[in-house]
């Protein structure tokens, strides 16, 4: 059935590896030297020396001796070591940007969920998967899968007319909302607990059951375009530029993580279908002591989704650690992955990355975005950072005859265009956001050059270059 981020009227009915020359066998370790020189009477000069650095990335900074009790973090160059300061002291630490993900060999529960139209994603839109929702098959065109949001979102009209929903029961559940910061769309409805089934198809076209999950899904009866949304508005937009209510139709599924950071405060792990699976290939995997051992997480490829991480299917990935969401009460609740961004060969700034299956364009926020936007500018991306970058590439944003386009240093990964926002001196993002926010939504064509994986159990995000 058609699955879209865009709601429609009730009259619209749903229809029926890049090979590494050397595999890493141990943690990548980059030595960094901390040089401390005492300046009388009370200050010290601190600098980080690294052969892989770029100009202007590491800058000597004077500090008072009394406050020089800090640490070194390779990803953002903050200093965090407790030091016994003496003149001419040199200290060397081991700095790791990428880590290994150790999964026991006896953990083998995994399943590959095919995409309905492999040739559509990643170039021409999001992937779709075959699904049954609330006991009704969603149709051969499948349901869109979006890593840029969390939870299944379905219009009231679609819920009632296609999936045998009961609105009198739906309204008894928690009122909720979901806000998409890139498109400024706000969906308002109720979180209704629902059983979902992911399907495959056999050679003769027969549907097979691959994964079963139970999650609350957002059945929305109101839709807004809300350019000035903040989370204190809750489920109501105070200044919409567009609004629809009633038996609205529409359907898509979000499987992303860390989306609370981007304004989706209700999009917690309990809403993610891939993190609440209880049956795989007809075998129960829920409950303590279950013999069907699995490592909770998933891999997104250009032609399929792989649920359940194993030592075999994660071979070749390099992993970065994720931070917990602030005040997280769920062990699966991880913040977005990080990267470093330089614009027009300027300084690298640390920010958040969203590898989004839902859009073909790139969204960029940085205080370094040129003002006004020139006909061409370069965006250098290092994931997770300059020192240990695997997923490093350069996107050149262009405008030719008023048509926005882009090029990339890695074949196939150029977004359709780049939408850029200069965040210098402003608070951006819903709910107060982050001061001078640095953020990159890569767009879906990222998957032409890479595979990406999320370790929900341990809090890691992995990347692997594809064979081109």
Give mean pLDDT in consecutive 10-residue pieces for the chain, a chain of 468 residues: 44 32 30 35 31 28 30 38 43 58 92 91 95 97 96 97 96 94 90 98 94 98 92 87 95 95 89 97 86 94 97 94 91 95 96 95 96 96 84 93 94 97 77 76 96 96 88
**What SS3 string covers the chain?**
CCCCCCCECCCCCCCCCCCCCCCCCCCCCEEEEEEEEEECCCEEEEEEECCCCCCCCCCCEEEEHHHCECECCCCCCCCECECCCCCCCEEEEEECCCECCCCCCCCCCCEEEECCCCCCCCCCCCCEECEEECCEECCCCCEEEECCCEEEEEEHHHHHHCCCCCHHHHCCCCEEEEEECCCCEEEEEEEEEEEEEEEEECCCCCEEEEEEEEEEEEEEEEEEECCCCCHHHCCCCCCCCEEEECCCECEEEEECCCHHHHCCCCCCHHHCHHHCEEEECCEECCCCCCCCCCEEEEEECCCEEEEEECCCCCCCCEEEECCECCCCCCCCCECCEEEEEEECCCCCEEEEEECCCCCCCEEEEECCCCCCCCCEEEEEEECCCCCCCCCCEEEEEEEECCEEEEEECCCCCCCCCEEEEECCCCEECHHHCEECCCEEECCHHHHHCEEEEEECCCCEEEEEECCC
pLDDT at 118: 75
Phi/psi zone of residue 45: left (φ > 0), alpha (ψ -120 to 50 degrees), beta? beta
377 and 430 inside one domain: yes
- What local confidence, expressed as pLDDT, does residue 444 receive? 97
List the beta bridge partners of residue 116.
none
Co-location of 39 and 123 in the same domain: no
Q: Give the integer Cα–Cα distance in Å for 350 and 105.
A: 35
89 and 181 housed in the same domain: no
**Is residue 35 one of the residues assigned to a domain?**
yes
Q: Are residues 353 and 422 in the same domain?
A: yes
Tell me: do 204 and 248 sit in the same domain: yes
User: Are 38 and 86 part of one and the same domain?
Assistant: yes
Using alpha carbons, select from 420, 342, 418 the residue that is nearest to residue 381. 342
Which pLDDT does position 35 carry in this prediction?
Answer: 36
Same domain, 116 and 89: no
Query: Looking at the structure, do residues 198 and 154 belong to the same domain, yes or no?
Result: yes
In a domain, residue 270? The reply is yes
Domain hosting residue 372, numbered range: 337-465
Residue 325 lies in a domain: no
pTM above threshold 0.85: no
Residue 106 lies in a domain: no
Answer yes or no: do 62 and 118 share one domain.
Answer: no
Strand-strand pairing, 143-146 and 136-137:
unpaired
Strands 207-225 and 185-201: antiparallel
**What pLDDT sits at residue 139?**
96
Q: How many domains does the chain have?
A: 3
- Note whether 72 and 160 are same-domain residues: no
- Residue 322 domain flag: no
CATH number, domain of 345, equals 2.40.70
Domain boundary among 254, 269, 284: 284
- Rounded to whole angstroms, the Cα distance separating 7 from 242 reads 12
**Cα dist from 431 to 1, 234, 261, whole Å:** 34, 10, 9
Query: CA-to-CA distance for 368 and 350, rounded, in angstroms?
Result: 12
Identify whether residues 402 and 261 lie together within a single domain: no
| Token pair listed for 138 | 């969603």
Whether 356 is covered by a domain: the verdict is: yes
Q: Is residue 18 part of a domain?
A: no
pLDDT of residue 114: 97
Residues 272 and 140 in one domain: yes
Answer yes or no: is 70 within a domain: yes
Q: How many Å apart are CA 83 and CA 225, to the nearest integer?
A: 53
Which of 251, 284, 317 marks a domain boundary?
284
């Amino acid at each position: 059935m058609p699955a879209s981020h865009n709601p429609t009227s009730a009259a619209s009915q749903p229809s029926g590896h890049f090979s590494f020359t050397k595999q890493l066998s141990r943690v990548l370790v980059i030595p960094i030297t901390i040089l401390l020189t005492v300046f009388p009477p009370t200050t010290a000069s601190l600098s980080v020396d690294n052969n892989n650095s770029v100009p202007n990335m590491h800058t000597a900074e004077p500090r008072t001796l009394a406050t020089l009790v800090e640490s070194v973090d390779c990803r953002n160059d903050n200093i965090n070591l407790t030091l016994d300061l003496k003149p001419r002291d040199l200290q060397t630490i081991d700095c790791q940007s990428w880590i290994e993900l150790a999964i026991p060999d006896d953990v083998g529960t995994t399943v590959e969920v095919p995409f309905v139209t492999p040739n559509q994603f990643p170039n021409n839109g999001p992937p779709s998967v075959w699904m049954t929702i609330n006991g009704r098959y969603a149709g051969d065109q499948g349901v869109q899968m979006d890593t840029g949001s969390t939870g299944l979102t379905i219009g009231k009209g679609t819920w009632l007319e296609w999936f045998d929903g009961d609105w009198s029961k739906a309204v008894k559940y928690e009122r909720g909302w979901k806000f998409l910061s890139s498109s400024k769309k706000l969906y308002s409805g109720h979180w209704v607990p629902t059983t979902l089934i992911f399907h495959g198809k056999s050679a003769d076209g027969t549907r097979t059951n691959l994964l079963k999950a139970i999650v609350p899904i957002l059945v929305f009866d109101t839709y807004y375009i809300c350019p000035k949304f903040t989370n204190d508005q809750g489920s109501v937009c105070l200044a919409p530029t567009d609004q629809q209510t009633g038996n609205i139709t529409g359907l898509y599924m979000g499987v992303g993580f860390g989306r609370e950071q981007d304004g989706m405060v209700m999009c917690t792990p309990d809403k993610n279908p891939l993190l609440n699976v209880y049956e795989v290939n007809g075998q129960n995997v829920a409950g303590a002591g279950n013999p069907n051992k699995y490592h909770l997480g998933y891999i997104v490829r250009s032609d399929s989704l792989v649920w359940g991480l194993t030592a075999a299917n994660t071979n070749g990935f390099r992993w970065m650690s994720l931070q917990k969401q602030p005040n997280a009460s769920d062990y699966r609740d991880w913040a977005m992955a990080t990267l470093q961004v330089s614009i027009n060969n300027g300084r690298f700034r640390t920010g958040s990355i969203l590898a989004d299956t839902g859009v073909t364009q790139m969204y960029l926020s940085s205080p370094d975005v040129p003002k006004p936007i020139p006909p061409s500018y370069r965006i250098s991306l290092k994931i997770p950072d300059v020192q240990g970058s695997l997923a490093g590439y350069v996107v050149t944003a262009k405008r030719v005859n008023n048509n926005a386009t882009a090029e990339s240093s890695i074949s196939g990964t150029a977004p359709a265009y780049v939408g850029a926002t200069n965040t210098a001196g402003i608070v951006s993002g819903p709910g107060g956001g982050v001061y001078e926010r640095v953020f990159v939504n890569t767009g879906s064509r990222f998957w032409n050059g890479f595979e990406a994986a999320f370790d929900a159990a341990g809090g890691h995000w992995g990347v692997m270059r594809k064979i081109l």
